[in-house]
A and B are shown apart, each in its own frame.
Chain A
Amino acid sequence: MSRPRTPVRILILLLGMVAAGSLAYALSNVRKGYEPRQPILFRHSRMAGPAVMQTNEKGEAVNVGGYDIPCLTCHTMPYKGRHATVPSTAVCMNCHTAVGLNREWVLKMKDYWDRGEPIPWVKVHDLPDFVYFDHSAHLNAKDEKGMPKLPLKDAEGRPWQICANCHGRVEETDIVSVTNAFNMQWCLDCHRKPEMKASTDCVACHR
């Protein structure tokens, strides 16, 4: 039994690597679990989570949980337009002229504000550029009874915010990551549910 010559083996190996890599890439879930490092360690749980009262060593009651701020306080636009919008630094300054003035990350944020620079947040839930997604079309979609089509409770029946259907329970996380697949299959899983009566036309998202 003769053995293939070395250059041919290398060639096959290279071609195969490309093919296998592509296949693995296609099958793997490249977005789920994406958790980029942000310029400021902003904790959603601290802002939007429920309050958790504890007594400190001095015997004072302190809130070690969150302030229960609704999502729409900062992300103002999801019902009105395509983007949910990331708040401008001025929104942070609405409160942080008065509270948390000595915290490390608040100071960093104030730095940006004083310099007049926007904060370069890293996009977490990032769809490809050929997908035209509209928040308002999803959040305003109602069924016959006038209830939002997106469920207000999870699969186990525990209530959640409407945003959580795609973004997960952000108010419980410190660092936001992608908790769903965010690929076309995942979109279509929902669009194809009979009760959603959603379009599965290509041009619904691609144009």
Chain B
Amino acid sequence: MRPNETSPRPEAGVDRREFLRLGSALAAAGALASAGCQPPQEATIPFHDMPESLAEGIGRARFFHTVVDGTPVLVRTREGRPILVAPSPTDASGRGLTLRHQAALMDLYDPDRARGPLSVRRGQGPTVASSWKTVGADVVSRLAKAGSGAVLLTGPVASPALSEAIAALSAATGLRHVAWSPLGGDAAAAAHRAAFGDERLPRPLLGKADLILGLGAEILDRPADGLERDFAMRRSPDAPEAKMSRFVQLEGRLSLTGANADERVRVRDSQLASVAAALAHELVVTRKVGPLAGSPEVAAALAPFAPEAVAKRAGLDPALLSRLAGELLAARGKAIVLAGGAASGSASGEALELAALLLNLTLDAYSAGLFDEAAAERPATGGAAALAALSDEMRAGKVSLLLVAGANPVYDAPPAVRFAEAIAKVPFVVSLNDRLDETSLLADLFAPASHPFECWSDATLPKGLLAIQQPVIQPLYDTRGLLDLLVEWGAAAGAGGEFAAAVAAATAALAKAPLPASAAPAPSPSFAWHFLRAAWAPRLGAAPGSPELEKAWNELLRAGAFQGPAPAAPPARTLAPAALALLSALPEAPAGLELQLYPHLALHDGRAGNNAWLQEFPDPITRISWGGALSIAPRRFDEMGLANGDLVEVDAGHAKLVAPAYRHAGMHADEVALPLGLGRAACGPIGAGVGPNAFAVGLLSGGRLLSAGLPVTIRKAGGREELAFAQGSDVIDRDRRPLVPVTTLSAYEKDPKSGTEQQNGGPSAWPEHDYPNARWAMAIDLSKCNGCGKCVLGCQAENNIPVVGRRGIVDGREMSWMRIDRYYDAPKKEGRWDAEVWDGPLPVVEEPKVLFEPMLCQHCENAPCETVCPFVATMHSEDGLNQQIYNRCVGTRYCANNCPFKVRRFNFFEYGKAQESALFRALEPRIKRNAELNTRSPMPMKNNPEVTVRSRGVMEKCSFCVQRIREARAAATRDGKEKTHFPDGAVVPACMEACPTGAITFGDVNAPGSKVAALSAHPRAMRLLDALGVKPSISYLTKVRNDKA
């Protein structure tokens, strides 16, 4: 039939009558269908008998102080489930929260933790379920037989009660205790012991220092010390306390600490000691400064370190050393020198620490009070020497029973220790680790320990403070706390009377259960609780069993910490001349390339290898998530013709390792670096096999574990591994894209607005919004922000943000609402940088100026996303929020395309719910991985019930923690308060809560006198992309670099 020919109506056509006939049938069917439609029936289950303490707590968050890993934290719980770990606001110890403390939630809800005792039989045949009764009886009988042949291997022990229990058990049975930690700071302790006869390390008071010289210091990379807070105190040019401090860092690998330096000089780890000694030489010998100037021993020890010769060897400009010495001298009494980090793990680490100590003595840092002697801490025990000795004994057959608790030497001991071989020679091995890890797999019996959130213990903190580790949830699985086990076994083995008493009391309490909750607080059935109470009674000054003890104990739990007796007086800070021998024994720096092994910022020593939040956390410098790479200096990288992800073989002589290569800006040309904590073989499906295990090239030398200055050669191994780079890792030419406000102190003093210059946007086409009442806004001080990323994890926990896995990151499908963009600042150039700038040209990346910029939804007043959404799913609220309404969103993704900040996230998968259809799982393997990462029971227990768990096909983004804003409004209504304006602190979003440096300020910008209003109007404040007229609610305050040498 030709097209223009008239045709009869098509066969399938429907005429009017037919339509009506069908229509009436439809109406009837529809009515029938809808009659049967009801919302799902839900139960509302009340308590059988509600505890009185919960009367006000239903549907509300409750907070508990506890301790994880030696750091006091505040745990937010809902209906008995911990849902957020935040820094303790009342903590006086100065300890800092690290990423792994924040992510402890994911360890608690880890589905791959052991669920009960097992008979592992050294991996021979299948594991068989065991019971605590058999485990206990077995261990106790063997303990009695083994005598001094029994060894307890733990991680560093910071709990006085645990130490006491171990000591008493040792006294009763002859059990020996060995502690092992792969990241011990032995060098600093050794230098302090040699110099002052006291190995306690005083805490540097960075808030008092005008000049900080870092010699490989990693104060920001290892935030457990809590130094980042003090550091940030003086990093703002208009800090009320005093003028801005200056930070000069000498290091081999561009670390997070080095990225925050005002001036950074590349020095290899193995040369740092001699460079530090050369500075001391310049000050003490040449310029005759300080108390050491007259000492012939010091002059003799420093003689080999003439600055010219050292500078030549280290490839430095000799003028630089004399300038640095001049700077230090000018700031004498206000200057502090910090060594440490990975660099003091080199063979010359002790010399480096000693040289830093000499410099501090010379600069009067001790006498001028730049160190807090009251907060001096003994470094955590656990050197490699003790482990190596233990391994030798085990191989010699002198150990008949090995108990492993919280240590994993098969994974993290240097290969020379040959621990796996040694463990095979021990007749009976019991592992008390939390999962079937590398070491537990070689054990006979596996008796899994509880997570710190599930059991009682205590901890010593700096400044004589003590804290209680109280459980915040019942054990999820059939596990026991380490202290509980030791007390139980101690009682059975006939150790001191306090063990038997604790067990008897706990058993009696258990027999009475279940008690009506309305009765007086029941005694706990936990052995550790009774043991702790008995141990703490004298400290609390109350008799056991007395009502005073009850009161003091409850107050202790409420306050979280207890001021114990002040620590012993610090030693006189006068140098013992014998210590100078450390400088004379300085080993030669390796001739060729040297390797540094540094702890992964998030995963640290790899203990939490199965933690998806930590695995997905991008390194702040390399921006690599889900893995790690060998960092190679850009020049060498280009010469070797490598591309990011090309596999490279690292040959350290005693061991070899293959790792993907990464072009790491700011590396010293003769240094390469590998992150530790990756490459777990057995931790669970989330983290197993992610990245290379760098512990495999650790070197044992003279009883120390060397982690830097290791001589290596590298060569292309062929093959490639795609690295998962997170969003935000570019070189930025700020002349063309003024996206980060940066300036120098001298420019700032001339013009406080310098660095905030932007193109003018011209008039707006949109009508102004009217904010008669509160308007929420945020200010981020880039001078205080150090790029640590704790805000990112805080946000992830608070807002139920899923983990997308390696594949998701590679595809650019990150879900995190907040990210820290890392830019390398391209220097001023005649004309302009062309496209090449994005690849990181050598002049930029050899010595990069690093900029960190926390990026989240800017809650623009004229939000480009709002105008393009065809379903009005994103719109403006009356208090200035850019609201995202999941129920309206149909996933057109116009908003994300129109967002100039690229902060909107699209749910490509149903991350929050396991896909049940086997067909879909087979069609898209990623669905299985997503479920593995996010939804396996009990993982969903971590979810914050105040925030919707988003489903597939909807857009999401930062909400300014609207759940906390609404709660503040409800609280104001409840208390009969004004709701037009909110005082500072009424709403604290999760990122601000997690920020250790106070870089983030949030509040009602319309409230008179609010902090955020003052900061938004500050001359340093800049709103991004003014030229577009989007009018963000977030102000960025200029990052100021102190260039005033």
Contacts and interface: CB of A to CB of B under 8 A. Distances in A.
Interface of A: 1-5, 8-9, 12-13, 16-17, 19-21, 23-25, 28, 30-31, 34, 36, 76-77, 79-83, 85-90, 112-113, 116-123, 126, 128-130, 132, 134, 136-137, 140-142, 199, 201-204, 206-207
Interface string B191-207: 00000000000000000
Contacts of B60: 81-82
B547 interface: no
A76 B46 contact: no
A142 B948 CA distance: 29
B26 A16 contact: yes
Interface stretch (B261-269, B614-622, B881-889): B881-889
A142 B42 contact: no
B30 A121 contact: no
A85 B58 CA distance: 8
Interface string B923-967: 000000000000000000000001110000000000100110110
B12 interface: yes
Contact of A24 (B34, B877, B962, B965): B34
A201 B46 contact: no
B766 interface: no
A85 B41 contact: no
Contacts of B8: 2
A13 B886 contact: no
B39 A20 contact: no
Contact of A206 (B26, B44, B886): B886
Interface in B737-769: none
Interface string B12-53: 111100100011011101110110011101111111111000
A120 B15 contact: no
Contacts of B34: 21, 24-25, 28
Contacts of A3: 18
A80 B58 CA distance: 10
A150 to B, nearest CB: 12
Count class of interface residues, chain B: 35 or more
Given A9-B22, A17-B26, A83-B58, 4 more contacts: A21-B29, A116-B48, A117-B48, A142-B976
Contact of A17 (B11, B33, B879): B33
A123 B43 contact: yes
Contacts of A129: 948
17 contacts: A4-B11, A5-B11, A12-B14, A13-B22, A17-B30, A19-B26, A21-B29, A24-B34, A80-B974, A82-B970, A119-B46, A122-B42, A140-B976, A202-B883, A202-B888, A203-B883, A206-B948
B55 interface: yes
A206 B954 CA distance: 14
Interface of B: 8-9, 11-15, 18, 22-23, 25-27, 29-31, 33-34, 37-39, 41-50, 55-56, 58-60, 514, 516, 518, 875, 877-879, 881, 883, 885-888, 946-948, 959, 962-963, 965-966, 969-970, 973-974, 976
A1 B19 CA distance: 14
Nearest to A116: B48
Nearest to B872: A202
B83 to A, nearest CB: 16
A92 B928 CA distance: 47
Given A13-B26, A123-B44, A137-B970, A88 B50 contact: yes
Contacts of A4: 11-14, 18
The 10 A-B residue pairs with the shortest CB-CB distance in the complex, in nearest-first order = A20-B30, A21-B33, A88-B47, A82-B59, A24-B34, A90-B49, A201-B877, A137-B970, A86-B46, A16-B26
Given A132-B946, A206-B886, A90 B44 contact: no
Contact of B969 (A16, A79, A87, A137): A137
Given A8-B12, A132-B946, A121 B976 contact: no
Contacts of A201: 877-879, 881, 883
